[in-house]
Amino acid sequence: MPRFRPYGQTRAVCGYYLRDSRLCISCVSAEESSQATMLRFGSEGAKRRYMERHCFCRGSGACAQAQLLRGRLAG
C-alpha cells in the first residue's frame, strides 16, 4: 500500500488549515494555537471535495471549521 501524501500541504490557502491525514483535516486558529479542530470524513474522495471547496479557495470563511474557530475567539 502506498504511503499517504498530504493533499493540502502545499495547496491550502485557508489561514485555519493545519494539516490533513488520509481521512481527516485539522484546523487551528492563528491567534489561539491551543484551539484546534479535526474534521473526519468517510472517504478520501469526500475529504478531497471538501478541501477543494473550502481549504484551497481564498475567502473560505464560509467553512464550518473556520466559523467555529472564529466563534470561539469572539465568545
Compute the distance between CA of residue 54 and CA of residue 67 in angstroms, rounded to an integer.
12
29 within a domain of the structure (yes/no): yes
Give me the pLDDT at residue 12, please.
83
Contacts for 17 with CB less than 8 Å, ≥ 6 apart:
8, 25, 27, 55
42 within a domain of the structure (yes/no): yes
Our count of domains for the chain comes to 1
Residue 66 · residue 57 · CB < 8 Å: no
Domain that holds residue 55: 17-69
43 within a domain of the structure (yes/no): yes
pLDDT tens sequence across 38-55: 999 999 999 989 988 888
Residues of the chain with pLDDT under 50: 1, 75
SS (H, E, C) 48-75: HHHHHHCCCCCCHHHCHHHHHHHHHHHC
